Amino acid sequence: MNRVEVHAEEVPLPGWTDSLVAFALTVLDSLGKTNWDLSILLCNDARIRALNARYRALDEPTDVLSFSLGETVPDEDGDMRYLPGDIVISLETLQENTRYFRVNEDEELRRLVIHGILHLDGMDHEDNEPFRPMLRLQEELVTRLSGTPVIREGTAPRQEPVNRTEPAITGGTELKLS
């Protein structure tokens, strides 16, 4: 059983966070991952810019960063859990991407979550050419998992982080950054 936890820094935790957790769990299941404990941080451009400058020496915001941990640890019951790392997503750059790529916010959020998970699973790409194997798989997953929307209009911001192990919908360490 996989687990996903979502937090927010410098932005309100969106009301659609439960759907985001469910989607991330669906992606992990579709990739055949088990016993993953994934962390997703939603933030603004200032926060992701600071991380990008510190860890990639790029003093600019970006849409998604993946921080690979890649450790296996026992949980409180003695079962082994895999800690792949953290995905950081800028909601401001996500919105810019929607205008630039002419896609809706929901599709772009799905793309960024999938992108981060694929990096944490060890995949990488030399550039952003769409024929790269990782980016081809990313787009296949975006298309295949395009069912129930993650971002739902009119949902109020949440006050607490979300931690879930079951989907609500159907359908130092090494550092690796996208």
- Distance from chain centroid for Cα 47: 16
- Listed residue (38, 49, 39, 37) closest to 10, CA to CA: 49
Task: Tell whether 106 is covered by a domain.
Answer: yes
Task: Tell whether 165 is covered by a domain.
Answer: no
Per-residue confidence (pLDDT) for residue 127, from 0 to 100: 79
CA dihedral (160, 31, 52, 41) in degrees, to 10, reads: 0
Mean pLDDT of 124-143: 89
User: CA–CA distance from 83 to each of 59, 67, 69, 75, 117 (Å)?
Assistant: 28, 11, 6, 11, 12
Read off the amino acid at residue 121: D
Res. 176 pLDDT band, cuts 50 70 90? very low
Q: Looking at the predicted structure, is the pLDDT value of residue 146 above 80?
A: yes
Task: Name 160's Cβ contacts closer than 8 Å, sequence gap at least 6.
Answer: 13
Res. 160 pLDDT band, cuts 50 70 90? low
More confident residue, 155 or 146: 146
**Percentage of residues of the chain with pLDDT beyond 70:** 84
**Percentage of residues of the chain with pLDDT beyond 90:** 76
Task: Tell whether 175 is covered by a domain.
Answer: no
Task: Tell whether 157 is covered by a domain.
Answer: no
Q: What is the CA radius of gyration of the chain?
A: 15
The per-residue pLDDT for range 43-80, each reduced to its tens digit, is 999 999 999 999 999 999 999 999 999 999 999 999 99
Task: Tell whether 172 is covered by a domain.
Answer: no
CATH number for 116: 3.40.390.30
Domains: count for the chain: 1
For residue 105, what are the domain limits? 3-151
The per-residue pLDDT for range 7-24, each reduced to its tens digit, is 999 999 999 999 999 999
- Listed residue (89, 101, 123) closest to 20, CA to CA: 89
Task: Tell whether 164 is covered by a domain.
Answer: no
Task: Tell whether 162 is covered by a domain.
Answer: no
The per-residue pLDDT for range 98-111, each reduced to its tens digit, is 999 999 999 999 99
